[in-house]
Copies of this chain bind each other. A is one copy, B any other.
Amino acid sequence: MPDNRTVRLIARPIGEPKAADFKIATEPLPPLNDGQVLIRNSYLSLDPAMRGWMNEGKSYIEPVRLGDVMRAGGVGEVVESRNPKFQVGDFVSGMAGVQTYCVSDGPGWTKVDPNLAPLTTYLNVLGMPGMTAYFGLLEVGQPKAGETVVVSGAVGAVGATVGQIAKIMGCRVVGIAGGAEKCRIAVEELGFDACIDYKNEDVRVGLKRDCPDGIDVYIDNVGGEILDIVLTRIRMKARIVICGAISQYNNTAPIKGPSNYLSLLVNRARMEGIVVFDWAPRYKEAAIAMGAWLREGRLKSKEHVEEGIDRFPEVLMKLFRGENFGKLVLKVG
Contacts and interface: CB of A to CB of B under 8 A. Distances in A.
A257 B260 CA distance: 7
A11 to B, nearest CB: 23
Given A59-B266, A60-B266, A266-B60, A271 B261 contact: yes
A311 to B, nearest CB: 29
Interface stretch (A101-109, A189-197, A248-256): A248-256
Interface stretch (A110-118, A171-179, A198-206, A272-280): A272-280
Interface in A230-258: 242-245, 248, 254-258
B266 A275 contact: yes
Contacts of A258: 257-258, 261
Question: For the complex formed by this chain, how many copies does it contain in all?
Answer: 2
A142 interface: no
A267 interface: yes
A262 interface: yes
A5 to B, nearest CB: 32
A92 interface: no
Contacts of A245: 262, 265
B262 A255 contact: yes
B275 A272 contact: no
A316 B258 CA distance: 28
Nearest to A270: B272
A217 to B, nearest CB: 14
B270 A271 contact: yes
Interface residues of A, number: 33
A268 B275 contact: yes
A47 to B, nearest CB: 14
Given A270-B271, A273-B268, A242 B257 contact: no
Nearest to A228: B257
Contact of A265 (B244, B256, B259, B268): B244
Contacts of A54: none
A269 interface: yes
Contacts of A274: 265, 268
A257 B261 contact: yes
Interface in A272-307: 272-275, 278
Contacts of A264: 242, 271-273
A94 interface: no
A223 interface: yes
A271 B263 CA distance: 11
Of A59, A260, A265, the most chain B CB neighbours within 10 A belong to A265
Interface in A36-85: 58-60
Given A242-B264, A242-B265, 11 more contacts: A60-B267, A223-B262, A248-B262, A254-B259, A257-B258, A257-B261, A258-B261, A261-B261, A264-B272, A265-B273, A270-B271
15 contacts: A59-B266, A60-B265, A242-B265, A248-B262, A254-B259, A255-B260, A255-B262, A257-B261, A261-B261, A263-B273, A264-B272, A265-B273, A265-B275, A268-B273, A268-B275
